Amino acid sequence: MVAMPSETVELRGHIIDSLILPKVLDGILTRGANFKIAEIRIGQSRVDQSYARIEVSAASDAMLGDILLRLRQHGAEVLERKNVQLAPAPTDGVFPDDFYVTTNQQTYVQFDAKDLLVESPMMDCAIVVDHDSRKARSVKFSEVRKGDQTVVGHQGIRVQPVQRETARTSVFQFNANVSAETPKTAIIRELAREFRQIRQANGTILVVAGPSVVHTGAGAHLVKLIEAGFVQRLFTGNGLAVYDVESALYGTSLGVNLERGSVADASRENHMHAINRIRQAGGIAEAVEQKVLARGIMHACVRHGVDIVLSGSIRDDGPIPGVTTDTVEAQRIMREKLRGVSLVLMMGSMLHSIAVVNMVPATVKILCVDIDSRVVARLTSQQTFQAVGLVADVEPFLRELVEAIEKAGSNSDRKPAA
Amino acid sequence: MVAMPSETVELRGHIIDSLILPKVLDGILTRGANFKIAEIRIGQSRVDQSYARIEVSAASDAMLGDILLRLRQHGAEVLERKNVQLAPAPTDGVFPDDFYVTTNQQTYVQFDAKDLLVESPMMDCAIVVDHDSRKARSVKFSEVRKGDQTVVGHQGIRVQPVQRETARTSVFQFNANVSAETPKTAIIRELAREFRQIRQANGTILVVAGPSVVHTGAGAHLVKLIEAGFVQRLFTGNGLAVYDVESALYGTSLGVNLERGSVADASRENHMHAINRIRQAGGIAEAVEQKVLARGIMHACVRHGVDIVLSGSIRDDGPIPGVTTDTVEAQRIMREKLRGVSLVLMMGSMLHSIAVVNMVPATVKILCVDIDSRVVARLTSQQTFQAVGLVADVEPFLRELVEAIEKAGSNSDRKPAA
Amino acid sequence: MVAMPSETVELRGHIIDSLILPKVLDGILTRGANFKIAEIRIGQSRVDQSYARIEVSAASDAMLGDILLRLRQHGAEVLERKNVQLAPAPTDGVFPDDFYVTTNQQTYVQFDAKDLLVESPMMDCAIVVDHDSRKARSVKFSEVRKGDQTVVGHQGIRVQPVQRETARTSVFQFNANVSAETPKTAIIRELAREFRQIRQANGTILVVAGPSVVHTGAGAHLVKLIEAGFVQRLFTGNGLAVYDVESALYGTSLGVNLERGSVADASRENHMHAINRIRQAGGIAEAVEQKVLARGIMHACVRHGVDIVLSGSIRDDGPIPGVTTDTVEAQRIMREKLRGVSLVLMMGSMLHSIAVVNMVPATVKILCVDIDSRVVARLTSQQTFQAVGLVADVEPFLRELVEAIEKAGSNSDRKPAA
Amino acid sequence: MVAMPSETVELRGHIIDSLILPKVLDGILTRGANFKIAEIRIGQSRVDQSYARIEVSAASDAMLGDILLRLRQHGAEVLERKNVQLAPAPTDGVFPDDFYVTTNQQTYVQFDAKDLLVESPMMDCAIVVDHDSRKARSVKFSEVRKGDQTVVGHQGIRVQPVQRETARTSVFQFNANVSAETPKTAIIRELAREFRQIRQANGTILVVAGPSVVHTGAGAHLVKLIEAGFVQRLFTGNGLAVYDVESALYGTSLGVNLERGSVADASRENHMHAINRIRQAGGIAEAVEQKVLARGIMHACVRHGVDIVLSGSIRDDGPIPGVTTDTVEAQRIMREKLRGVSLVLMMGSMLHSIAVVNMVPATVKILCVDIDSRVVARLTSQQTFQAVGLVADVEPFLRELVEAIEKAGSNSDRKPAA
């Protein structure tokens, strides 16, 4: 009998109830390989950590390597630790062959027999190690420079996945995906409490929003949320900005009167004239200054110091000044503005939300609200134990959230706007 | 050249802006036939009626017959009027071959050179004419008796479609299908006004509701609507009734706590025990009397004299007493209870709503609310100029409607409950 | 310090990779209780069974009881086994208070210190124990008779959930939910192989189908599947039957010509005349015999001895003879005809499929195909490790499945039709 | 009595069965204004043109102006023709106040008492008139230069909407929106015929495609369509290109093996390595030349001279060289490459398809295929009488279309690739 290639891996932490051990064993079986549990110590009560040592054997080195890669992404650590392998980037913007592709989990690389924490964990990057400073960081294609020492293969890499906290104090611990057929009042109350806690701890809240926030008449609620100090950053596109301006200037959204309601005129004219007004003013902030723009979401953002990132898309009319039309540059700005964010509230925007989901570390809380259950499923699927998805109308959701935040606040210290 | 089969038809009324003339001409062209407009008089202002006389010619008699059938359903009247043709039903429950299939529009048959109005217009019936009483009525398969004189072919039939009123005073005139991406506050205000008008005119409001009314936490709003006298009849199934009882007895809906919210226990136990309690009591009304059931939708219906029709489905657990488990009998009851209904509000129920849509005359107003745009489209597609569809969460919709009705009422005479 | 109520439970089997242990621990934490793992032995290789003994403690007896109920449904066994508690049914059709509500998993009750296997495991039943024969069986509301000894509370009950087989030889082991955005050719090939294996082992295949099978033009493919011997039972409603007859008699489905395609006439006339023809003939089988019906799905079923169950709904036109219009009786027939079924193929039918999903034991394989991802998610959510869901057009799916079955068959022994 | 503001408008053409007259009258009534039909002549047979002269009166000048604007967009011509009003653009990139916003219909402006046809009709532009050359053209925000003479107000503008041809020879005349519940074989056969006719007339076919074309396994069918000469241009994004390269290099799409099927490994690694390979090669064409890329959609496009436009989005990984990351520049390129296009086939792409729908003139045929009915509705809603939407799985649709085109071709002259 020929010896099959095998390796020993270790798992630590809340590996049972965070589903890490089951996923690891499942990953081994699904790929047709075998395991033997050499040792297992399961935390006896819920605050204890668990530990498992598992021997994995597979039919070929290639298959074993593939399996180890997956296990590492679930937090398994190969027992005989080796240094990471590095290779220089062959040219600007190109990684070496077989570069390691990052997840958004906290990751360590072993370098000179020491563990380096990879800075800015983010999906779909390479890891570049600086010999001198002994720092490792995740790097996008556009950021790599010729000669950068880049991690290749899978050796010497350790991923530490977000684990479910044992005390389920936060609604985000439940990783809930709340269907349209479920009462939302209670969960919105919970979320309101969470919003207040984050702000009391001086956390940063990012809103990612699409044009339907304006179309559905939810703009006024978002303005209140901004005024109450619960929005620090806003990522959106030309669409929401223009619809908001149109509604501020003409009372319509895509020609539909927001007061009189939907059964009306659907002209594109106000929309295009709104763009023209902002182009003439020189931009959103200028329009506010010139008092062309005196109400609405954009106005509230300018007045309350909310950081606005407007990213361009090929669907845009105009666009207005301030929209970053280069998509790579827009991604760079968003990555920068994601630093320090504690919670992302995504509403009615597929394009911008996917972009953000691709960039956030696994530790950031995500709240996704959309009337389309597939959008909610898509956006919450990557954030384990940190994402809440609600299939809901954006307008009544936001109205209720703002009311619940106000109500929660009236019983406690008022948090002044940032 | 051979003469093609041809007929002359006439159209009267608001045939231009009710889209009748265009549909007629389109129907002719689509079937590859020809028309010649022999005469046309278009009403000069919006209160005037229009008139058109059109010669239709087609390649064959069969095709011409087929076209005339469609035109009749759009209100065209074949000029040379003849008496309807009748044939006896061959046996109970079976119509003669080639029986005329009704629409839900107002229909006349010419009998003994006189026009008889067909009673109880309804889709998918045959028309039976009584020689003696000179009455014509629409008849379902289950109602026809051997020998009944039944209309066959298409001769001598005149359909008078609902036409759009020239004064657009009602929101239903717009036949709106309001998407999820549209502000609903204004239209809900309009609808509230309509509800009040109907009740002030002593009209009858029918609610058709599915279990999601309870799941989403909208039950309390429906109770308010009932208590305020805006529901005269309720068509639903075993599902809603049981969920409502479960929520009244245990505070849960399918095991989900409606107060504490969705992130909880999803047991089936309360659901089954609720059924058992009602079976033990002998039914809903009995449970109310015995004070087993002291709150909720069913309780409000019993207390306020709302006529409940519970129809069975193969999906039912239980069912509870009072559910009509025979579907043909349930249809019969629904047809009977549809008499005199002015407005149907359909919420979150595909099965019961389709059943109702198949039974209502074209003159009844339909308001359909569902979070699934396809359900809304399906339910409103048959009622021209009388249906409003809203793609919306049921819970916030109903909350807002009830608030708007209350608000509208506080400024006017209070309408006492029926 | 007051002692909290506590119990010791045991778990056995593939409790790690079948996710049973994680679910159990998660269930404890989610309800705010505590656990202590007293002993754990994890199978060292994939064929070995695992074992865990866990002490659960909770704040109150009620909470502990609630938790133990959930744990039992995941297969946990309370260590100090006691006999089940029984109470007599107070009257026909009514269970005693606090009756135990079944799942569709294999279940044992301890009676006279012996384990009785509950016959016909099915969701949402009570368990009735016969003292004399020492048999336990699951019983629906309609079946219980006054005095029947019925299990109450949760004591003495052991559930043995379906566990994932360690060798993943069947596509159903993966419990896949295949989205619209995924290639389906490979999985359909796998499914075809599974169909052949089931028939080679003389297994019984049940098709649950809705009218869209006919509308989409998939009827001809279903006929081929029947002719090749891969359908033993068909559960459907009046709708599919009538559309099939309409298409056989007139070449249309809801007036749409299936050959010429969709851009045509949508009359209801053929539909109603088809119903009339079958009513006149006396039923489907009679129509086949009288050569009124000479093609289509119903014809193939009659010719090939497929057991047809037609259940009524309030949406039905007609209905035709042979439709069981009483829904409780229809459920009884379906339960009976589900005996011995190995695989259920559900296509384009929400109503009938939900009814079936509520009735099947957890061991039956379920393949659900629908273009609506929510329907697929709903129907596959209850069958762990035994359900495959495909979000797909029914017509091309069925065409490809039939081709793949034929192809797989040409390389092996031909299985003659049942 | 005070005279209400009024104007007389004229309509010409197939104004009845193209629904122009009904829409015009409806537009007047909906806005609460009045009309009087001064003269009407309706074409007596289907080849004749019709004519109507209508006096419109409204409560205010503003309302009348608003109504006239809508009527003009439906083709109404204000009787007393006046020259257009012009104003200079105040600065680069900004139009004068009250600039006229274009539709995508054929439009004329009256200048010096003569009608100028506006070049490149497109939605949401302004019209700039050149005094010297006497030419009018539609201009985007980014194209206008300071001083350009731009049309303001609504005077002197005539829109000539696409009218339905009286002979319905093309499937696009029916403006069909084909639901998931409809047989598609016949319409696909029709579409295949249309594809062949367009290519026989040397027409240009544009494919707009999203990544799901690759995910669903439809890539091979698109390659065949390209090889057979039925694709001249391809608009897509970085996503499809990279998935196609991944599938060509590694046999996977987002890590899912396209041959073995969906129940497998979902790694992101192949995806990122594919991007790296193309970046290293310098681009798609270079990768084909260097034989790095030897199969797939991109390879076929390069080999067969298909014009590829890759537009960037903030969702992109990479991106690969050749992607236009500036969205305004990408729009400019798409507008240029839309010239001369006869038919657009849109599959599985919301973002790119909306961008294209916003740019095409009303005369271009649009075929939109998506599994989401809302996407289909959204994309076909603007193109009257020229758009066919199919709610369908992309993979089987494209397979069937390619087969039907091949079949249609085998009976006629083979059309060589462009």
Q: What is the ipTM of this complex?
A: 0.86
**CB contact A262 to B (< 8 Å):** yes
**CB contact A90 to D (< 8 Å):** yes
Tracing tokens 């005279």 back to the chain, one arrives at D3
Residue D41 confidence (pLDDT): 74
Number of Cβ atoms within 10 Å of the Cβ of D131: 10
* Option in B325, B328, B330 nearest C328 (CB): B325
**CB contact D112 to A (< 8 Å):** no
Residue contact D16–B25, C-beta within 8 A: yes
Collect all residues with Cβ–Cβ distance below 8 Å to B95 and sequence separation of at least 6: B89, B126, B141, B144, B150, C276
Collect all residues with Cβ–Cβ distance below 8 Å to C218 and sequence separation of at least 6: C212, C347, C394, C395, C397, C398, C399
pLDDT at D136 over 90: yes
Residue D183 confidence (pLDDT): 82
What is the rounded distance in angstroms from the CA atom of residue B378 to the CA atom of residue D322?
45
Residue contact B36–D44, C-beta within 8 A: yes
Residue D287 confidence (pLDDT): 97
D265 — pLDDT class (breaks 50, 70, 90): very low
Residue A266 confidence (pLDDT): 43
Residue contact A180–B393, C-beta within 8 A: yes
Residue B257 confidence (pLDDT): 67
Which DSSP letter does residue D185 get?
H
Residue contact A261–B189, C-beta within 8 A: yes
**CB contact A334 to D (< 8 Å):** yes
Number of Cβ atoms within 10 Å of the Cβ of A167: 11
Residue C384 confidence (pLDDT): 59
What is the rounded distance in angstroms from the CA atom of residue D343 to the CA atom of residue D203?
8
Sort out which chain A residues have CB atoms less than 8 A from B215's CB and list them: 181-183
Is the Cα torsion angle A222, A227, A231, A236 positive or negative in sign?
Answer: positive
Residue B384 confidence (pLDDT): 59
What is the rounded distance in angstroms from the CA atom of residue B10 to the CA atom of residue B28?
14
* Option in D97, D318, D330 nearest A314 (CB): D330
- Mean pLDDT of all residues in D144-156: 93
Residue contact D261–C392, C-beta within 8 A: no
* Option in D95, D272, D316 nearest A101 (CB): D272
**CB contact B414 to D (< 8 Å):** no
Q: Chain C: nearest CA to A6, how far in angstroms?
A: 14
Residue D155 confidence (pLDDT): 83
Interval B77-131: pLDDT, tens: 777 678 999 999 999 999 999 999 998 888 999 998 898 999 988 989 999 999 9
DSSP state string for A10-21:
EEEESTTTTSHH
Number of Cβ atoms within 10 Å of the Cβ of D112: 10
**CB contact B70 to C (< 8 Å):** yes
Q: How far apart are the first and last CA of chain A?
A: 69
Minimum mean pLDDT range among A147-151, C35-39, C110-114, D245-249: C35-39
**CB contact A51 to C (< 8 Å):** no
* Option in D22, D34, D374 nearest B46 (CB): D34
Q: What are phi and psi of B209, to 5 degrees?
A: -135, 150
Residue D1 confidence (pLDDT): 39
Collect all residues with Cβ–Cβ distance below 8 Å to B152 and sequence separation of at least 6: B85, B86, B87, B96, B97, B98, B99, B100
| B346, containing H or E segment | strand B341-347
Q: Which parts of chain C sit beneath pLDDT 70?
A: 1-3, 17-19, 43-47, 80, 163-169, 173-176, 254-267, 382-385, 411-418
Residue contact D265–A70, C-beta within 8 A: yes
Biggest alpha carbon–alpha carbon distance for chain B: 83
Percent of chain A with pLDDT over 90: 54
Q: Chain B: nearest CA to D7, how far in angstroms?
A: 15
Cα R_g (chain C), whole angstroms: 24
A256 — pLDDT class (breaks 50, 70, 90): low
Residue D267 confidence (pLDDT): 63
Sort out which chain B residues have CB atoms less than 8 A from A215's CB and list them: 181-183
Q: Chain B: nearest CA to A257, how far in angstroms?
A: 9
Task: Give the Å distances, CA to CA, from A75 to A36, B218, C66, C173.
Answer: 18, 44, 34, 25
A50-57/A6-13 β-pairing: antiparallel
Interval A159-194: pLDDT, tens: 877 765 544 467 776 556 778 778 888 889 989 999
Sort out which chain D residues have CB atoms less than 8 A from B21's CB and list them: 16, 22
Q: Answer yes or no: are the C-beta atoms of C330 and C309 closer than 8 Å.
A: yes
Summary mean pLDDT of chain C: 86
Sort out which chain A residues have CB atoms less than 8 A from C40's CB and list them: 40, 42
Prior bond to B319 cis, omega within 30?
Answer: yes
- Mean pLDDT of all residues in A110-129: 92
Q: Which of A361-370, B98-107, C282-291, D166-175 has the highest mean pLDDT?
A: C282-291
**CB contact B371 to A (< 8 Å):** yes
Q: Answer yes or no: are the C-beta atoms of D195 and C161 closer than 8 Å.
A: no
Q: Provide the 3-class DSSP secondary structure of residue C157.
A: strand
Sort out which chain B residues have CB atoms less than 8 A from D40's CB and list them: 40, 42
Residue B359 confidence (pLDDT): 92
Residue B239 confidence (pLDDT): 95
What is the rounded distance in angstroms from the CA atom of residue C335 to the CA atom of residue C309?
11
Residue contact B268–C124, C-beta within 8 A: yes
Residue contact A313–D319, C-beta within 8 A: no
Residues across chain B: 418
Interval D42-56: pLDDT, tens: 766 666 778 888 888
Percent of chain D with pLDDT over 70: 87
pLDDT at D262 over 70: no
Interval D199-230: pLDDT, tens: 999 999 999 999 999 989 999 999 999 999 99
Q: Answer yes or no: are the C-beta atoms of B390 and B405 closer than 8 Å.
A: no
Sheet containing strand C307-311, edge to edge, reads C177-178, C387-391, C365-370, C341-347, C204-209, C233-237, C307-311, C323-324
pLDDT at A244 over 70: yes
pLDDT at D74 over 80: no
* Option in A30, A44, A46 nearest C168 (CB): A30
Q: Chain A: nearest CA to C26, how far in angstroms?
A: 6
Q: Answer yes or no: are the C-beta atoms of A399 and A224 closer than 8 Å.
A: no
Residue contact A90–D317, C-beta within 8 A: no
The token pair at C157 is 């009950």
Q: How far apart are the first and last CA of chain B?
A: 69
What is the rounded distance in angstroms from the CA atom of residue B389 to the CA atom of residue B375?
9
**CB contact C379 to B (< 8 Å):** no
- Selected for mutation to probe chain C from B314, B323, B352 (highest C CB count within 10 Å) is B314
Could you list the pLDDT tens digit for every one of the 418 residues in chain B? 455 778 888 888 777 766 677 777 777 777 777 777 777 777 666 667 788 888 888 888 778 888 888 787 777 777 767 899 999 999 999 999 999 999 888 899 999 889 899 998 898 999 999 999 999 999 999 999 999 999 998 888 888 777 655 454 677 765 567 787 788 888 899 899 999 999 999 999 999 999 999 989 999 999 999 999 999 999 999 999 999 999 999 888 766 666 654 334 446 788 999 999 999 999 999 999 999 999 999 999 999 999 999 999 999 999 999 999 999 999 999 999 999 999 999 999 999 999 999 899 888 999 999 988 888 888 887 665 678 899 999 999 999 999 999 998 776 544 444 4
Q: Which domains does chain C have, with CATH numbers?
A: 1-79 (3.30.70.2690), 81-161 (2.40.420.10), 171-410 (3.40.50.10690)
The token pair at A113 is 């027999």
| D337, containing H or E segment | helix D327-337
Interval A25-50: pLDDT, tens: 777 777 777 777 777 777 666 667 77
Of C174, C188, C180, C256, whose CA–CA distance to C219 is shortest?
C256
**CB contact D294 to A (< 8 Å):** no
The token pair at A59 is 């039919």
Q: Is the whole-model pTM more than 0.90? A: no
What is the rounded distance in angstroms from the CA atom of residue A318 to the CA atom of residue D94?
10
Residue D260 confidence (pLDDT): 56
**CB contact A123 to D (< 8 Å):** yes
